[in-house]
């Protein structure tokens, strides 16, 4: 009953709040501030434990992967945030369209802790540390003398590799490597929305 009330509240908030940076920031604080209440009122299986239990072997990650899709995902316990985060998937689509990243257009090669992303004529080398007991991964790359990291989790099922990187860390890395993105309105909206929220991930799906 109380979960239904939370869902109703967030539906009203998302519908009524103007899509400005300041309004999104207020919404972010609202959702973050309500997380303790939501956690106390909902019982939900720990998604991180579920990821750990189904963690693929390190060798499963090795190989050449083809990009299929990307989206946002929320793994926290706050049903308000869960629904609000779902509203920003169109922003991801717009960002990817700007970067001309479409299904099949990008490749990812993983091999023993080394990784390479290629997209058209662009190539980015990096490294990663995978901890199977937690299904966790920390990725690192250096471009033009700037080194950035992003942490997250991996999942493998039915021939599909899912890489989930912390949204705040990944956006910070992107804007560090590509400073021109700091003024992008889509990036600004996402940053302000998730500023006070944890457990938000940008999810990439790949197949061989």
| Sign of the C-alpha dihedral computed for residues 164, 172, 169 and 30 taken in this order | negative
Reported as a single tens digit per residue, the pLDDT across 44-92 is 679 999 999 999 999 999 999 999 999 889 998 877 777 777 777 787 7
Q: Which of 201, 203, 193, 169 is nearest to 32 (CA)?
A: 193
**Paired tokens of 85:** 């985060």
In whole angstroms, how far apart are CA 190 and each of 17, 23, 44, 174?
15, 12, 26, 13
SS3 state of residue 176: helix
Q: What is the pTM of this model?
A: 0.78
Report whether pLDDT(2) > 50: no
Distance CA 138, CA 195 (A): 21
Report the b/e string of 19-29 with b at 16+ CB within 10 A.
Answer: eeeebbbebbe
What average pLDDT does the structure give for the chain? 81
Instruction: Give residue 119's domain range.
Output: 2-207
What is the tally of structural domains in the chain? 1
What are the tens digits of pLDDT across the range 117-171? 999 898 999 999 999 999 999 999 999 999 999 999 999 999 999 999 999 999 9
- Bridge partners (DSSP) listed for residue 137: 130, 152
**What is the pLDDT, as a whole number, of residue 93?**
79
For 79-129, the DSSP string reads: HHHHHHHHTTHHHHHHHHHHTT--TTSEEEEEETTEEEEEETTEEEEEEEE
């Amino acid at each position: 009953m109380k979960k239904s009330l939370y869902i109703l509240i967030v539906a009203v908030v998302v519908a009524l709040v103007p899509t400005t940076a300041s309004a999104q920031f207020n919404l972010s604080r609202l959702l973050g501030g309500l997380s303790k209440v939501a956690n106390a009122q909902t019982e939900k299986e720990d998604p991180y434990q579920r990821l750990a239990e189904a963690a693929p072997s390190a060798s499963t990650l090795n190989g050449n992967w083809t990009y299929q899709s990307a989206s946002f995902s929320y793994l926290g316990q706050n049903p308000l945030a869960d629904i609000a985060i779902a509203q920003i998937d169109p922003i991801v689509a717009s960002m990817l369209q700007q970067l001309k990243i479409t299904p099949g257009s990008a490749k990812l090669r993983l091999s023993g802790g080394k990784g390479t992303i290629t997209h058209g004529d662009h190539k980015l080398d990096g490294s990663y540390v995978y901890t199977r007991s937690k299904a966790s991964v920390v990725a690192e790359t250096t471009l033009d003398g700037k080194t950035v990291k992003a942490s997250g989790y991996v999942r493998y099922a039915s021939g599909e590799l899912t890489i989930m990187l912390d949204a705040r860390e990944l956006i910070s890395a992107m804007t560090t490597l590509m400073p021109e993105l700091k003024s992008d309105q889509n990036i600004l909206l996402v940053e302000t929305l998730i500023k006070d929220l944890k457990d938000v991930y940008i999810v990439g799906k790949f197949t061989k």
